[in-house]
Amino acid sequence: MKTKVNANILVIGSTVCDVMIYLDRLPSREGDAHIQSQHWQVGGCAYNVARFLKQVGAEIDFLSPVGSGIYGDFVASELGKQGFDLPLRLAGANGCCYCFVESDGERTFLSDHGVEYGFDKAWLATLPKLAYDYIYICGLEIEEETGQALIEALKQLTGQIVFAPGPRLSLIAPKKMAVLLAMSPILHLNEAEAMTLGQSAELNTAIKAIYAKTQALVIVTKGADGAVAYDGTWYEAAAYPSQVVDTIGAGDSHVAAVLAALDKEQSVASALDFANKAASLVVASQGTYLTANDYELLQADLDRYTEK
């Protein structure tokens, strides 16, 4: 199979400061708890996708506003160290996300949204081009007041939209969602999100209902049960066994791995399998960052899949 010289993926969305807080379990209301540890790291759905793609060798454009204040300065510094350009440094304050991770790996987020979640169509002028193979967006930016501006901006771009609505998809205004679905995006969801969007408690029925609206690939992650996809044909890939440390960034890494594989013209089945492998490594790690060795192994796998 012929491999493209350069990937053509645009990632649009936020970069935030994640305040990672590890503890045995969250206390009940009016309760008290000691934490085990805490640290800061750069996060955000779009950033997690962009970082993964960059680490496995994809050539991407990353359109992400960065604000001011202690969180904005931290984000700007870390992005610079990682080799990301910063064309959108804004005056308003950057927010943060408090990520509480319990001993079983489940996480709870409390977010303080700043300018990093906004969007201005004028920012398209900072892009080197307007035509891409794939354009990633997530639901948090669509949910915001400037989400309509982002939707209008997508109409000025050329490329297959890949939309990950996330757990707050029910908070996206129905009119916005209807316009997006009419743009035939590839959708990346977990089981609960798929059943909410497809308005059915039966997963396959929900997936078919979503496909009827988009006429594009629908991908659904199922945790330990792997992942399925549907585009008129069913695809399924088993999960890779993993000892869960925390689940932060698993979905973001999964959709990023799918993007990396599809942009190298892999089959849907191979892309699902590769994405399941990537997600298994992420949940076995603390936070969203893998080791350099993990990324090298994933890149080697990606190349082997592509050569088949």
Q: How many residues does the chain have?
A: 308
Q: What backbone torsions phi and psi does residue 35 show, to the nearest 5 degrees? A: -95, 160
pLDDT of residue 5: 39
The residues, ordered by sequence, that sit 6+ positions from 147 with a Cβ below 8 Å of its Cβ are 119, 141, 172, 173, 176
- The pLDDT of residue 249: 67
297 pLDDT band, cuts 50/70/90, is confident
Q: Which two tokens mark 239?
A: 């999960």
- pLDDT, one tens digit per residue, over 38-47 is 989 898 999 9
Confidence of residue 4 (pLDDT cuts 50, 70, 90): very low
Q: Domains in the chain and their CATH numbers?
A: 13-307 (3.40.1190.20)
Mean pLDDT is lowest, of 66-80, 146-160, 186-200, 248-262, for 248-262
Q: Is the pLDDT of residue 206 over 60?
A: yes
Mean of pLDDT values over 123-135:
93
> What gap in Å lies between CA 71 and CA 95, rounded to an integer?
6
Q: How far apart, in whole angstroms, are the C-alpha atoms of residue 229 and residue 84?
A: 32
**What local confidence, expressed as pLDDT, does residue 286 receive?**
63
pLDDT (mean) for 95-100: 92
Q: In whole angstroms, what is the distance from residue 98 CA to residue 17 CA?
A: 9
Question: What pLDDT is attached to residue 142?
Answer: 95
Q: What is the pLDDT of residue 298?
A: 82
Provide the pLDDT for residue 288: 65
For residue 214, the model assigns a pLDDT of: 97
Mean pLDDT of 187-197: 96
84: left (phi over 0), alpha (psi -120 to 50) or beta: beta
Using alpha carbons only, give the angle 100, 259, 155 rounded to the nearest 5 degrees.
100
Q: What percent of the chain has pLDDT over 70?
A: 93
Rounded Cα distance, 298 and 258, in Å: 12
C-alpha dist (Å) from residue 181 to 110, 197, 211, 272, 281: 28, 11, 9, 22, 31
- Residues 220, 49, 140, 43: is their CA dihedral positive or negative? positive
The residue among 107 and 218 whose pLDDT is bigger is 218
Q: Count CB neighbours of 37 within 10 A.
A: 10
Confidence (pLDDT) at 143: 94
Bigger pLDDT: 1 vs 50: 50
Contact (Cβ atoms closer than 8 angstroms) between residue 16 and residue 94: yes
pLDDT at 242 over 80: no
Distance of CA 259 to the CA centre of its chain: 10
Confidence (pLDDT) at 305: 62
Q: In the prediction, which pLDDT does 308 show? A: 54
pLDDT digits (tens, 9 = 90+) for 6-25: 448 999 999 999 998 999 99
Q: How much is the pLDDT for 104?
A: 85
Instruction: Look at 228 and 128; give whichever has higher pLDDT.
Output: 228
Q: What is the pTM of this model?
A: 0.89
Average pLDDT, the chain: 89
**Structure tokens belonging to residue 207:** 């997936």
- Distance, CA of 158 to CA of 144 (rounded, Å): 23
Per-residue pLDDT band for 290 (boundaries 50, 70, 90) equals confident
Residue written as tokens 């350099």? 292
